[in-house]
Copies of this chain bind each other. A is one copy, B any other.
Amino acid sequence: MVHKVAGPEIERLISLLAKLPGLGPRSARRAALHLIKKRESLLEPLAASMSETAQKIEICSNCGNVDVLEPCAICRDERRDHTMIVVVEEVGDLWALERAKVTKARYHVLGGVLSPLDGITPQDLNLNQLIERARTNSVCEVLLALNATIEGQSTSHYIMEQLAPCNVKISQLAHGVPVGGELDYLDEGTLAAAVKARKEM
């Protein structure tokens, strides 16, 4: 229990800021002071931006992405590849792939991974919609771009089984040495995968 020293309005702001990932009680207090100091240049625009986002944001009914458009801008974009669906766990993973500009395909956001210990079952994920999308004629390949964690990999296997009746190629991201990575710092699993999947030069 932290001793309250500012007024209730400021304390409420601090306690809400402390719920953001990456901010603890101490840094939330610093952030609140910073906001109060920069009332016109930061506090007011941020309040307006949050309120606008809260009003306008939609979850895309096709792929699970978040956007102010429904369907989202990626699903609407006719220039994107109709033949491949890239399956990711969270919207943040979609953003990471978009930043890297590595694919022109469309996405499918699962909204998590299977985790029996946390009670997350296939019903909790955006899976039925994926199977429906994979059944459409234009789709030839589903790339499972889930995290290389135990949950991510077992979810990949589950999805692979579910997609078996659909007439699509199923792929997953390659494992190996990260570009710029030093062998000395890599775990045995990564090194084993990199050796196994070695390429002739």
* Interface residue? A69 (CB, 8 A): yes
**Of residues 2 to 31 in A, which have CB atoms within 8 Å of B's CB atoms?**
2-3, 5-7, 9-10, 12-13, 16-17, 19-23, 27, 29-31
Whether B10 contacts A53 by the Cβ 8 Å rule is: yes
Note all chain B residues with C-beta closer than 8 A to A132.
Answer: none
How many A residues face the partner with a CB closer than 8 A? 54
Q: How far is the CB of A158 from chain B (nearest CB, A)?
A: 23
**Of residues 67 to 87 in A, which have CB atoms within 8 Å of B's CB atoms?**
67-69, 73
Binds B, one of A91-99, A149-157, A167-175: A91-99
A contacts with B: majority SS: helix
Q: How far is the CB of A60 from chain B (nearest CB, A)?
A: 11
Whether B99 contacts A66 by the Cβ 8 Å rule is: no
24 A-B pairs with C-beta separation under 8 A: A3-B99, A3-B101, A5-B94, A6-B66, A6-B95, A9-B49, A10-B53, A10-B68, A13-B53, A16-B46, A19-B38, A22-B22, A29-B92, A30-B92, A33-B91, A33-B92, A35-B50, A35-B53, A36-B57, A36-B66, A39-B54, A43-B54, A47-B54, A51-B51
